[in-house]
Amino acid sequence: MREIVLDTETTGFDPETGDRIVEIGAVELWNHIATGNTYHQYINPERMMPAEAFGVHGIGPDILEPPQQPEPGQVTLRDKPVFAKVGQAFRDFVADSHLVIHNASFDMKFLNAELRWMGLPEIPFDRAIDTLGMARRKFPGSPATLDALCRRFGIDNSNRVLHGALLDAEILAEVYLELIGGKQPDFGLSTVTTGDGPGQETAWRAMPRPTPLPARITEAERTAHAEFVEKLGENAVWKRA
């Protein structure tokens, strides 16, 4: 089962009033295990960056009003592609996978607005898995921000000084695995296939034994156990099972 853990950064809160996506980060999971396959893209929003949004993610000092000289490590956006140039590649990456998103309604409305403006198919909302809703149901009344969940699960988010889409997606992947029951629920025995043609590599997967192993209990032990259960009477748990 393929899932994409995803996060976006934007210029604001509502695409219908002119806000746009400026960064997308996504991490691929296969049977709940990170494959190392990621998608990351900065995007020119074709508009100025509000100071409030810049204060959250620190992206785009060159499109602030007035523009600022970028400091070391800051990402500028004037030279980045517009969404119309990268939308198809993003759509191809997510394909038909479920999308794991913290506060899915926010990111989905932006992604679908951008895809709609390009004339590409929108992503059905029922393909979104909202970890914010999952956390609120699992821990009612407790803080459910990504930082709060990292503290609860002991996940290192010390690099998260500002919001960043790919870093947040990587952290969210760890949070998601904790929310569904812990890391690597299948003990790392899942198959991960790379490539799509001749020569593709497939990792080893544990398969059922063609012939079950013989029982290690002896006939004498079976008899002794049956005699023991008989002495316990009709209410013995073995007789009710």
List residues forming the annotated binding site for substrate.
7, 9, 52, 57, 168
End-to-end CA distance of the chain: 34
Which residue ranges are tagged as binding site?
7, 9, 52, 57, 168
Short-list 111, 151, 157, CA closest to 135: 151
Is residue 51 within 8 A of residue 57, CB to CB? The reply is no
Short-list 184, 212, 27, CA closest to 102: 27
32 a catalytic residue: no
d(CA 86, CA 83): 5
Alpha-carbon distance values, 19 to 37, 109, 184 (Å): 29, 11, 37
Provide the angle, in degrees to the nearest 10, between the axes of the packed helices 165-179 and 131-138: 40
Q: Output DSSP code: residue 103.
A: T
If one counts every other C-beta atom within 10 angstroms of the C-beta of residue 95, the result is 8
Residue of 32, 40, 163, 225 marked active site: 163
Which residue ranges are tagged as binding site for a divalent metal cation?
7, 9, 168
- For residue 144, count CB atoms less than 10 angstroms from its CB and return exposed for 0-12, middle for 13-18, buried for 19 or more: buried
Question: Catalytic amino acids?
Answer: 163
